[in-house]
Amino acid sequence: MKKRIFGNWKMNGSLAANAALVDALAQGVHVGACEIAVCAPAPYLAQLQSLLDGSSIAIGAQDVSAHADGAFTGEISAAMLRDFGVRYVLVGHSERRQYHAESDELVARKAQAALVCGITPVVCVGETLAQREAGETEAVVRRQLAAVVQVNGHCLSEIVLAYEPVWAIGTGRTATPEQAQAVHAVLRAQLLAATTSAGRIPILYGGSMNAANAAELLAQPDIDGGLVGGASLKAADFLRIVACAQ
Ligand code: PGA
Q: Please state, in angstroms and rounded to a whole number, the distance separating the CA atoms of residues 127 and 110.
A: 20
Could you report the per-residue pLDDT of 222-237, keeping only the tens digit for each? Answer: 999 999 999 999 999 9
Contact 204, 6 (CB under 8 A): yes
Does the CB atom of residue 206 touch ligand 1 within 6 A? yes
- Residue 172 Cα to ligand 1 midpoint, Å, equals 9
Domain region containing 57: 4-244
Tell whether pTM > 0.95.
yes
Q: Please state, in angstroms and rounded to a whole number, the distance separating the CA atoms of residues 177 and 146.
A: 24
CATH number, domain at 94? 3.20.20.70
Q: Which residue's CA is the nearest one to ligand 1's atom 6?
A: 229
Contact 242, 36 (CB under 8 A): yes
Q: How many CB atoms lie within 10 A of CB 50?
A: 9
Active site residue 164: yes
Q: Please state, in angstroms and rounded to a whole number, the distance separating the CA atoms of residues 107 and 109.
A: 5
Could you report the per-residue pLDDT of 55-75, keeping only the tens digit for each? Answer: 999 999 999 999 999 999 999
Question: Count of domains in the chain?
Answer: 1
Sequence-ordered list of residues with C-beta below 8 angstroms from that of 23, at least 6 positions apart, any chain: 51
